[in-house]
Amino acid sequence: MPISESDVRHVAMLARLALSDEQVTQLTEELGAILGHIDELQHLDLADVQPTAHPLDMTNVMRPDEVRPGLTREDALANAPQTEDGAFVVPPIVGGGDDA
């Protein structure tokens, strides 16, 4: 199944990747080739098969409602590119980001 350049641009936006025009062109070709190989799956008759929910036959794994020690704020912020007053700094939302 071929993929178009506009598909690639759309997917790049979903994945939040700034691609150059050259990258878009190259990826269109590469992804198209890969998808071409993967397409063989379409020819399998799997209509009556359930998708795998989990490789093991395990269900109901949960934990008790008990407090565990977390990170100190120092550790939480240790790798942050930019912080202010203990919070992570981000540039303005307007013009960018999703919201839900």
Site for other proteins in 3-32 (CB under 8 A): 3, 7-8, 10-12, 14-19, 23, 27, 30-31
Please report whether residue 55 would count as binding other proteins according to CB under 8 A: yes
Least distance to other proteins from the beta carbon of 25, Å?
Answer: 13
Burial class of residue 8, CB neighbours in 10 A (0-12, 13-18, 19+): buried
Please report whether residue 2 would count as binding other proteins according to CB under 8 A: no
Phi, psi at 84, each rounded to 5°: -150, 125
- Give the span between the Cα atoms of 70 and 66, in whole angstroms: 12
- Token pair, residue 35, equals 């998808």
Least distance to other proteins from the beta carbon of 82, Å?
Answer: 7
Consecutive H or E run containing 84: strand 83-84
Candidate residues 2, 5, 25, 34; the one interacting with other proteins per rule CB under 8 A: 34
Looking at residues 77 to 96 of the shown chain, list those that interact with other proteins (rule: CB under 8 A).
77-82, 84-96
